[in-house]
Amino acid sequence: MPINFRKRGFFKTLKLLLRVKLVVPMLRSKSAPEITARGAMVGMAWAMTPLVGIQMYLVFMTWLFSRKVCKWDFNLPVGLAWTWVTNVFTVPPFYYAFYVTGKLMTGTFAERTTYAKFYDLIMKIVNENGVVEALKATAAVLIKDWGFSMMIGSIPWIVFGGWGAYAWTLWYIRKRRGTLARRLENKQKKLERKIETTQKKFEHKIEKIGQKMEIKNQRFGNKRKAIEKRLETTISEDLDAVEKRLDGNE
């Protein structure tokens, strides 16, 4: 389903995209926070390279190599998701930032190209379909002076971007899981209190029923004793009457 920028507004749409593309894969991850954060770090590191179109494949190859050779694992879906940071909207400004950073690092900042010319070239790469075409277009740019400056300039972005993605993801996942754990603990405590309250009410009702039964038993016992006394009195009176009659007959 396409997202309508006009209907939602640019910033709301951007916030939604960031959540769907970056945050949701992190929340769905069942890995340890460190493994998930590593995925974000690798994805962000490759996203901060001027290799548009093949970044997801590079993340996958890194995952295979790191698991088999280095015995170092990270969450692959999260890594793939974080390459979205450099997308069709953000590639031109990001790559120009790499280019300008490279010019600063090589001391040729005064010879930099304007953003308009740079934008047209980068969009040609972005619009290429397929891995082979993307590689050809990327290689054509990297051969030029722009490509050298972009590669050099991307290094600080790779380091700080990867580290920032790792630190933020680790903090966010731990905070999120801690919040969920506290919520679950609070729910459990509320449930325990509810069960305890219900149990006390039930015990109180049972106690009341027992008291009522005891009162009824006492009343029943009193009535039975009264009836027994009446019967005893009646029988005694009848016996006296019979004795008197017998005495009178004699």
Query: What residues contact 166, with CB distance under 8 A and at least 6 apart?
Result: 37, 38, 40, 41, 44
pTM for the complete prediction? 0.70
Summarised one tens digit per residue, pLDDT across range 223-247 is 888 888 888 788 877 777 767 776 6
* 146-168 pLDDT per residue, tens: 778 888 999 999 999 999 999 99
68-86 average pLDDT score: 92
- Nearest C-alpha neighbor of 36 from the set 192, 243, 175: 175
Taking residue 191's Cβ as centre, other Cβ atoms within 10 Å add up to 10
Q: Note the pLDDT tens digit of each residue in 181-226.
A: 899 989 998 988 898 888 888 888 888 888 888 888 888 878 888 8
For residue 13, the SS3 value is helix
d(CA 163, CA 160): 5
Q: Decide if pLDDT at 140 tops 70.
A: no
Q: Is the pLDDT of residue 8 over 70?
A: no
